[in-house]
Amino acid sequence: MIKISPSILSCDYGKMADELKNMENCGAELMHIDVMDGHFVPNITLGAPVCKCIKKYTSVPFDVHLMISEPLKYVDDFAKAGADIICFHTESDSDISETIEAITSKGVQAALAIKPKTPAEAVLPYLNKISMVLVMTVEPGFGGQSFMEDMMPKVRFIRDEIKKRNLDVDIEVDGGINKDTISIAAKSGANVFVSGSALFGAADRKKTMDDFKKKANEAFTD
Ligand code: DX5
Ligand code: ZN
């Protein structure tokens, strides 16, 4: 199933509640919450207290992307803050199996992310235990960067492996998704699309959301 996950990194932080409601009304299937610690990536955003606070303004499930060095330490906080999916990086300092176990034992879905320089093979040992793989299509840290098309072979490789194992695992792409790149990613086998600047910056967000979904549905290749 095609899902759009607006990245609140690009929202107006002064009126987050309204921004979330707006994206819900535009038809967002997920809400992508970018958490950065200024250590794993060179930028700082928000933590579990903010996540908890904004959770009550929307019923759209929270897709929490942890770009932090020690995700295991914070699983409990984000689970309590209302995360529906907790996504962490294979490149973090936490033990991967232990972190997946900590997330799923809280009744939260676990997802694994890989940075551009990390090979697709890094997620293979965990594919049966997670609900989603996030293939970064920019270096994590900032919105508004250009889509790295050379990440597409990784998406295709992971999609083929999911099929081979007959699993129900989503593939999310994050970074530089817009009306042109969404088709490229969907054709490669991605079905969850994070969009920050292209969606929040659109003159007509609803129209852009509809257009994204149409293009992704047309191009998606299993
Ligand atoms: C980047 C974040 C992304 C970012 C995407 O590190 O993980 O979620 O907000 O923003 P755009 O869509 O502007 O590339
Ligand atoms: Zn993200």
Ligand nearest the Cα atom of residue 140: 1
Q: Which ligand is nearest to the CA of 63?
A: 2
Beta strands in the chain (DSSP E): 3-6, 31-36, 62-67, 85-89, 109-114, 132-136, 170-174, 192-195
Domains along the chain with CATH numbers: 3-219 (3.20.20.70)
What's the mean per-residue pLDDT of the chain?
A: 98
Task: Name the residue with the closest Cα to ligand 1, atom 10.
Answer: 143
Ligand 1 atom with minimal separation from the 140 CA: 6
Length of the chain: 222
Specify whether 34 is catalytic: yes
* Per-residue tokens: 142: 């900032």
pLDDT digits (tens, 9 = 90+) for 127-150: 999 999 999 999 999 999 999 999
- Smallest CA-to-CA distance from 57 within 30, 19, 83 is with 19
Q: State yes or no: is 76 an active-site residue.
A: no
Contacts of 1 (CB under 8 A, 6+ apart): 29, 191
Closest of 9, 27, 17, 1 to residue 208, by C-alpha = 27
Q: Ligand 1, residues 4, 5, 7: which to mutate, most atoms within 8 A of Cβ? A: 7
Helix ranges, 116-204 (H): 152-164, 181-187, 197-200
Angle between helices 16-26 and 205-219 (to 10 degrees): 50
Residues with C-beta less than 6 Å from any ligand 1 atom: 7, 9-10, 32, 34, 65, 138, 140-145, 174-177, 194-198
For 7-48, what is each residue's pLDDT tens digit?
999 999 999 999 999 999 999 999 999 999 999 999 999 999
Q: pLDDT tens digits for 38-90?
A: 999 999 999 999 999 999 999 999 999 999 999 999 999 999 999 999 999 99
